[in-house]
Amino acid sequence: MKSYSNAIVIALAVVVGAFVIGSAYKYKFISSETIVVTGLAEKDFTSDQIVWKGQYSRTGFDLKEAYTQIKSDEAIIKSYLKDKGIPDSNMVFLAVDVVKNFNYENGPNGTSKTVFSGYTLTGGVKVDSRQIQLVEKVSREVTELLQKGIEFNSNKPSYYYSKLNELKIDLLAKAAEDAKLRAETIARSSDVGLGSLKKANMGVFQITGKNDNEDYSYGGSFNTSSKEKTASITLKVEYLAK
């Protein structure tokens, strides 16, 4: 009789243990189910800052004379830009770069020697302004300096946006909304409920030219050549299913 009772107790223990293990496994399986989606947000915007650079140079055998000429050019360029409406506070003149030039000449018996051919002095100016249309106009018309005997090389302007931090925060919020909407759609179609947010990872912040076929960069694109731009960001999120 005692052996029979022990067998019943053991059998019950096995059944209860199996039920507990099964319930624990089921709970673990359900609680580990998640919905993973990636939200996207994009926004077109117009740059509010322009940076434009130009270079000018002088050559000569007399360094002092060449330097005097290039400093005279600097004064003429500065006056020209001010007359066009660009204030002193928006322009910076860079230090003059000096290069000593040499030519190679062939000598007798296959020998060669270097011969001094003069100095090249190069100056530069940088204009940083919020008056985009004005600076664009000046960058196109600056060849007028040729009439003053100054060989001025104008670079293509670069465009920037002064409120990138605010833009990035706004896009993150919209990407989160987009991700939640996608997760809710998946949950409804799968006949499950959407639980709490488990994890969120921000993707790369990209700035490309508007309507340009630019490739996204792994480290993030930062277009400066286009005045009209498009900013985008992705947000990978993981929700618990219930």
Q: Note the pLDDT of residue 22.
A: 45
Same domain, yes or no: 138 and 179: no
**Structural domain count of the chain:** 2
Q: Note the pLDDT of residue 219.
A: 78
CATH number, position 193:
3.30.110.170
Q: Note the pLDDT of residue 212.
A: 84
Which two tokens mark 210? 């508007």
Q: Note the pLDDT of residue 18.
A: 42
Q: Note the pLDDT of residue 12.
A: 45
Last residue of a domain, one of 158, 181, 196: 158
pLDDT tens readout for residues 120-172: 999 999 999 999 999 999 999 999 999 999 999 999 999 999 999 999 999 99
Last residue of a domain, one of 102, 123, 158: 158
Low pLDDT (below 70) residues in the chain:
1-32
Q: Note the pLDDT of residue 28.
A: 39
Question: What is the residue range of 227's domain?
Answer: 33-46+163-241
DSSP string, 176-238: HHHHHHHHHHHHHHTT--EEEEEEEEE---EEEETT--PPPPTT--B--S-SEEEEEEEEEEE
Last residue of a domain, one of 98, 127, 158: 158
Q: pTM for this structure? A: 0.79
